[in-house]
Amino acid sequence: MTILAAAYLTASASLMADATRPWPVFMVASVQEAPPAAAPTAPPTAPATPKPAAPPATSDAAPPTGGAEKDPDTARIEQSAQNNPTEGEITPELERAVARGLEYLKSIQNTDGSFGRGKYGKHVGITGLCALAFMADGHLPGRGKYGDVVQKAMDFILEHATETGLLAVDTTQGPMYGHGFATLFLGEIYGMNPDDDRVRDALTRAVQLIVNSQNEQGGWRYNPVPYDADVSVTICQIMALRSARNAGIKVPKETIDAAVKYVRDCQNADGGFRYMKDSGVSAWPRTAAGVASLFYAGVYKDDAIDRGLAYLLQTSLPTGNGGALGQAHYFYGHYYAVQAMYLAGGERWNRWWPAIRGELLARQEASGAWLEQQAGEAYGTAMALIILQMPKRYLPIFQK
């Protein structure tokens, strides 16, 4: 498994206004699988458990019993857990685990504001994910207990924004994964504080680079050149564009339409998703990412989504007690899967959330970290914290 990819390309083309319906809001991260909105004006000072709502609907949205039948998109949005917090989503045990995890993550921030060690040291993508873990608890640059951590992470990423728009420290290691995560982070920052011109400039140029490097199939690959594509890198760029669009940055509609077609073309007959368009077996981590990306691109009611969700429930429902250690792409897969179930809502969310919550709590180390053997503890801890804090709904991407 790699989290990054190689070389860079200059990009220049004006962005076109996205006219039609707005995308729904949300975010992501992406790791290669081997082949085979307005934000709150100020964050809360302490996390608050959402008020219980009426019991959520069943897994498929049903039309109202009286009056005109609802549009499928409207029905699915209303069913989503974005709009239907349930009682007991956030527990005292979860809050204690998050507090330990955030303290651990702060302790391993590098002096230059970056996160990551060794092979993944000074990495803009991992730095962006770690900062998002703090933002999910309501901390922003200059605000909150960990505001300085987020500020230093943001400064590190902005310092490595190139003239071409590429966000990267090392452009020889396939930078599009890191670029996608860092762009996502800047989109969330800008969505919560649209007065920072530095962020807007870097974000606009980062979006341009993504748009200009989409290939003819509608996807992206490791390098910012429009040649090859795989579903994992493609999903990472979809999420970055989505966050930027929600923050008010113009994104061409045809870019998203082509990306959606590419993702659809990677689905197998069993409902799972393969790594590349032409051939390959299904795997649950990329299936979770594929379903989530369709939601984020504005596709709500679709057979591809329903078949993908069914595949996930059949193959990868968490055990709730820690699960098997050493599972490949564990954090990557569950990061996307919990988002997919959150957006699907209903019984799917009700089954998935307590299970993954229990599993992650059981996996936490005494230090507060979550271990990830290949990408490192900063990555594993950040991913676990973002998953666990989703029901707080602080980030623009987790809101309606």
d(CA 61, CA 342): 14
Let me know if residue 286 belongs to a domain. yes
| Residue 194 neighbours by CB under 8 Å, 6+ apart | 200, 247, 248
Let me know if residue 109 belongs to a domain. yes
Instruction: Tell me the two tokens of residue 344.
Output: 């699907």
Let me know if residue 242 belongs to a domain. yes
pLDDT tens-digit map of 117-144 = 888 889 999 999 999 999 999 999 989 9
Instruction: Tell me the two tokens of residue 300.
Output: 């709500």
pLDDT tens-digit map of 196-211 = 999 999 999 999 999 9
Confidence at residue 394, expressed as pLDDT on a 0 to 100 scale: 83
d(CA 43, CA 41): 7
Confidence at residue 12, expressed as pLDDT on a 0 to 100 scale: 32
Closest CA to 353 of 56, 44, 32, 54: 56
Confidence at residue 114, expressed as pLDDT on a 0 to 100 scale: 97
Confidence at residue 400, expressed as pLDDT on a 0 to 100 scale: 53
Let me know if residue 66 belongs to a domain. no
- Crossing angle of the two packed helices 231-246 and 197-212, in degrees rounded to 10: 140
Q: Half-sphere exposure of residue 65, counting CA atoms within 13 Å on the CB side? A: 0
| Residue 279 neighbours by CB under 8 Å, 6+ apart | none
Q: Spell out the per-residue pLDDT of the chain, length 400, in tens.
A: 433 333 333 333 333 333 333 333 333 333 334 443 444 434 444 444 333 333 333 333 333 334 455 565 565 566 776 667 677 899 999 999 999 999 999 999 999 999 998 888 899 999 999 999 999 999 999 899 999 999 999 999 999 999 999 999 987 678 999 999 999 999 999 998 888 999 999 999 999 999 999 999 999 999 999 999 999 999 999 999 999 999 999 999 999 999 999 999 999 999 999 999 998 999 999 999 999 999 999 898 899 999 999 999 999 999 888 776 678 899 999 999 999 999 999 999 999 999 999 999 999 999 999 999 889 999 999 999 999 999 998 888 776 5
CATH code of the domain covering residue 219: 1.50.10.20
Confidence at residue 23, expressed as pLDDT on a 0 to 100 scale: 37
Q: Give residue 145's domain range.
A: 74-398
Instruction: Tell me the two tokens of residue 159.
Output: 């310092």
d(CA 286, CA 290): 6
Confidence at residue 73, expressed as pLDDT on a 0 to 100 scale: 56
Confidence at residue 87, expressed as pLDDT on a 0 to 100 scale: 79
Q: Taking the model in full, what pTM does it have?
A: 0.81
Partnered with residue 161 across adjacent β-strands are 167
Let me know if residue 4 belongs to a domain. no
Sign of CA dihedral 165, 171, 177, 181: negative
Gyration radius of the chain's alpha carbons: 19
Instruction: Tell me the two tokens of residue 9.
Output: 């390309």
Q: What percent of the chain shows pLDDT beyond 70?
A: 78
d(CA 383, CA 126): 10
Confidence at residue 30, expressed as pLDDT on a 0 to 100 scale: 36
Let me know if residue 360 belongs to a domain. yes
The backbone torsions φ and ψ at residue 273, rounded to the nearest 5 degrees and listed phi first, read -115, 140
Write down how long the chain is.
Answer: 400
Structurally, the chain folds into a number of domains equal to: 1
Place of tokens 């996930």: 312
The backbone torsions φ and ψ at residue 140, rounded to the nearest 5 degrees and listed phi first, read -135, 165
d(CA 37, CA 27): 13
Q: What percent of the chain shows pLDDT beyond 90?
A: 67
Alpha helices in 51-123, H assignment, sequence order: 72-79, 92-107
Let me know if residue 40 belongs to a domain. no
Let me know if residue 43 belongs to a domain. no
